[in-house]
Amino acid sequence: MFSFDERDIDLDLRSYIAILRRHKAQVIACTLLALAAAGLVTFLQSNRYEATADLLVESRSTSDIFSTSQGGRVDADRELDNQVEFLKSSTVFNAVTTTIGEEPEIVVTTSNDGDVISVTASAGEPERAAEIANIYASTYLELRKDRLVSDYAQTSAAVQSQISAIDGQLATLDEQHTDELDEIDSALAAERRRDNTDTSELDALEQQRSELLRRQSEQRAPLTSQRAVYTQGLTTLQLNTDLASGGIAQIISEAEEPEGPASPRPVRNLILGALSGLLLGLGAAFALEQLDDAVVSPEDLTRATDQLPILATIPQSGRTHFWNRSRREAVERTPAVTEAFRSFRTSLQFAALDRPLRVVQVTSALPGEGKSVTTANLGRLLAEAGKRICIIDTDLRRSSIHNYLGVTATAGYPEYLLGHKPLNEIFVRVDPNHQLYLLPAGATPPDPAQLLSTRAMAELIHKLSGMFDLVLVDSPPVRPVSDPLIVSKLVDGVVLVARSGVSKREDVHASISALQHVDAPLLGTVLNGYSTPDEYKRSSYYIDDTHADLDLRELIGPRSVAAIGDRPIELRDSTTSGPAVEPQA
């Protein structure tokens, strides 16, 4: 079942183009506004120049001296990132600010490969930008050299302190073992002076001495190894300190004066502004489409009516109808509109193949959607084809079709139903050149719905269906009143008119549901006021006012003139005065 707040997400390219056409004003407005804003910002911006100095930095730190890790490239990348952060730090920034007397505008970047750091300075003058970039690079080198020398000196002092501590431990260990060795050596000398054939005591002392020496060697080994590492590190630190004093980084490319400003860039800004505005406009267009509940395209109308056929799509026209109200004669109409109504007529002809169409009701969901205009124009086109057409106005509350037909109605058929006047005094012949008649509503009765539901009303419509080739019933809109639902029980077919951009999907769907609920014989819908540039582009090629009309009699069939008593009913011609006009069979 259709839900009015659903959107068909599977839109094809044609649907997207239709959405953009409907909201092209918003898209163009957003694009132009963004373009104007980009142009204004570009105009108000002052010229800025950029100059870049490149630095080759050797990754070296005190932690690398004592590291046994094999991740050299990882450590180098980390060190390069550290140097970039150092370049961005307040230490370098404040030093440069003090040197140049203003806060520099600096951007620091690294190359994709290699240890190269680029320092880009921005300024209002080209020579000033180059000067600031070079000063910033040289200041960094000086500060980094000072920091490295200081770091190496502090580390060297710490390593020397560790070596001294190890030397102390070795001296203490040697002193302890020396005392023990002296005691053993004294005992060995005394034992050898004895003339004793038993050598077991001498062997024990010799073994004790060897064990002491082994233990001494084991205790010295880790300290000696640790001292060797620190000694090697200290040697490396001293070498790096000497290197750092001479500089371990260099400027490989000094900043030069730029030839032109880096900003603003008018072409780029305008292109980006236009693209941003276009994207914003497209987003706004689709957002409005999602929020808009209006029936705009034939696809919208088909979805809103649960796939009811569209009998005709009437294009937007500068004229609301084909009739000159003051002269009551046909005026010039556009070929596109004429062809659309001929298409409507043909659709009704084919609908008559499946069911007899003597009486067709034309209604809409709400007022102002073009049902009366559509009824008047269709009636006129059928009459021009040589058919006897009657339009009956069942909009007893707000009758308007007589205005579109350009006639004056002094009486209405409710007077006939009440027995106050004969029918031939109520009929109005609209056009003296064609068989088009109007049965007007006249004054509003006290209870229109009750009047329309009477047996007399049903008999009247049945009588009219025998008098004319086709009876068109202009009824009130469905949603405000129940009158059209009552009338739908008296007709052979019902057509619902919707106006593009005005009718709401919810209203259209509710109207169709109401008509289906009373088993109204729905034929289809008509989309009125649909604006499309190409749909009727070539329609005038096919229009021939002399020979294009099809013969309705082949599909609808001839109608006999109903008789009241022994006389045919007389229809009064509104264009003449005098005797009544008798329609020709």
Q: Is the pLDDT of residue 27 over 50?
A: yes
- Tokens encoding 570: 């007389």
Q: Which segment of 18-27, 46-55, 94-103, 486-495 scores lowest on mean pLDDT? A: 18-27
Q: Where are the alpha helices (DSSP H) in 406-559?
A: 413-417, 448-452, 455-467, 483-487, 505-517, 539-542
Q: Looking at residue 243, what is its pLDDT?
A: 58
- Burial string for 236-264 (b: 16+ CB within 10 Å, else e) reads bbeebbebbeeebbebeeebeebeebeeb
Q: Is the pLDDT of residue 568 over 50?
A: no
Q: Looking at residue 272, what is its pLDDT?
A: 92
Could you say which DSSP state residue 101 is in?
S
- The phi and psi torsions of 355 (rounded to 5 degrees) equal -150, 150
pLDDT digit string, tens, across residues 263-274: 888 888 899 999
Q: Where are the alpha helices (DSSP H) in 247-358?
A: 266-291, 298-304, 335-351
- Mean per-residue pLDDT, 483-487: 94
What's the mean pLDDT when you consider all of the chain? 79
Asked: is 298-544 a CATH 3.40.50.620 domain? The reply is no
Q: Looking at residue 362, what is its pLDDT?
A: 95
Q: Looking at residue 71, what is its pLDDT?
A: 47
Q: Who's near 46: CB < 8 A, 6+ residues apart?
A: 124
Name the E strands within 513-576. 522-530, 563-564, 567-568
Distance CA 381, CA 15 (A): 32
Q: Looking at residue 571, what is its pLDDT?
A: 43
pLDDT digit string, tens, across residues 279-314: 999 998 888 877 778 888 888 898 888 889 999 998
Distance CA 585, CA 449 (A): 34
Q: Is the pLDDT of residue 241 over 50?
A: yes
- Mean per-residue pLDDT, 359-367: 94
Q: Is the pLDDT of residue 343 over 50?
A: yes
Q: Which of these, 54, 16, 244, lies nearest to 137 by C-alpha position?
A: 54
Q: Is the pLDDT of residue 327 over 70?
A: no
Q: Looking at residue 188, what is its pLDDT?
A: 78
- Mean per-residue pLDDT, 392-401: 90
pLDDT digit string, tens, across residues 203-233: 787 888 888 888 878 878 888 888 888 888 7
- The phi and psi torsions of 406 (rounded to 5 degrees) equal 75, 35
Residue with the bigger pLDDT between 325 and 404: it is: 404
Q: Looking at residue 186, what is its pLDDT?
A: 79
Domain ranges of the chain: 13-45+264-291, 50-253, 298-544
Q: Who's near 42: CB < 8 A, 6+ residues apart?
A: 264, 265, 266, 269, 270
pTM higher than 0.95 for the full model?
A: no
Q: Where are the alpha helices (DSSP H) in 292-363?
A: 298-304, 335-351
Q: Which segment of 277-286, 493-502, 532-541 scores lowest on mean pLDDT? A: 532-541
Distance CA 59, CA 80 (A): 7
Q: Looking at residue 457, what is its pLDDT?
A: 93
Q: Which of these, 434, 430, 452, 447, lies nearest to 363 by C-alpha position?
A: 452
| Cα→Cα distances 501→89, 181, 300, 302, 477, Å | 61, 114, 10, 15, 17
Q: Is the pLDDT of residue 363 over 90?
A: yes
CB atoms within 10 A of CB 507: 23
Q: Looking at residue 245, what is its pLDDT?
A: 53
Q: Looking at residue 141, what is its pLDDT?
A: 87
- Burial string for 277-307 (b: 16+ CB within 10 Å, else e) reads bbebbbeebbeebeebebbbbbbbbbbbbee
51 bridge partner residues = 121
Q: Who's near 549: CB < 8 A, 6+ residues apart?
A: 342, 384, 385, 386
- Residue pair 561/347 in contact (Cβ under 8 Å)? The answer is no
Q: Who's near 561: CB < 8 A, 6+ residues apart?
A: 467, 568, 569, 583, 585
Q: Looking at residue 197, what is its pLDDT?
A: 56
Model confidence band, residue 575 (pLDDT cutoffs 50, 70, 90): very low
- Residue pair 15/82 in contact (Cβ under 8 Å)? The answer is no
Handedness of CA 195, 200, 201, 205 (dihedral sign): positive
Q: Is the pLDDT of residue 317 over 70?
A: no
pLDDT digit string, tens, across residues 145-203: 877 777 777 787 788 888 888 888 888 877 777 777 777 877 777 777 776 656 777 77
Distance CA 487, CA 360 (A): 10
- Residue pair 564/533 in contact (Cβ under 8 Å)? The answer is no
* CATH architecture label of 50-253: 2-Layer Sandwich (3.30)
Q: Is the pLDDT of residue 132 over 50?
A: yes
Q: Looking at residue 472, what is its pLDDT?
A: 95
- Residue pair 342/40 in contact (Cβ under 8 Å)? The answer is no
Residue with the bigger pLDDT between 392 and 334: it is: 392
Q: Where are the alpha helices (DSSP H) in 13-125?
A: 13-22, 24-44, 72-88, 90-100
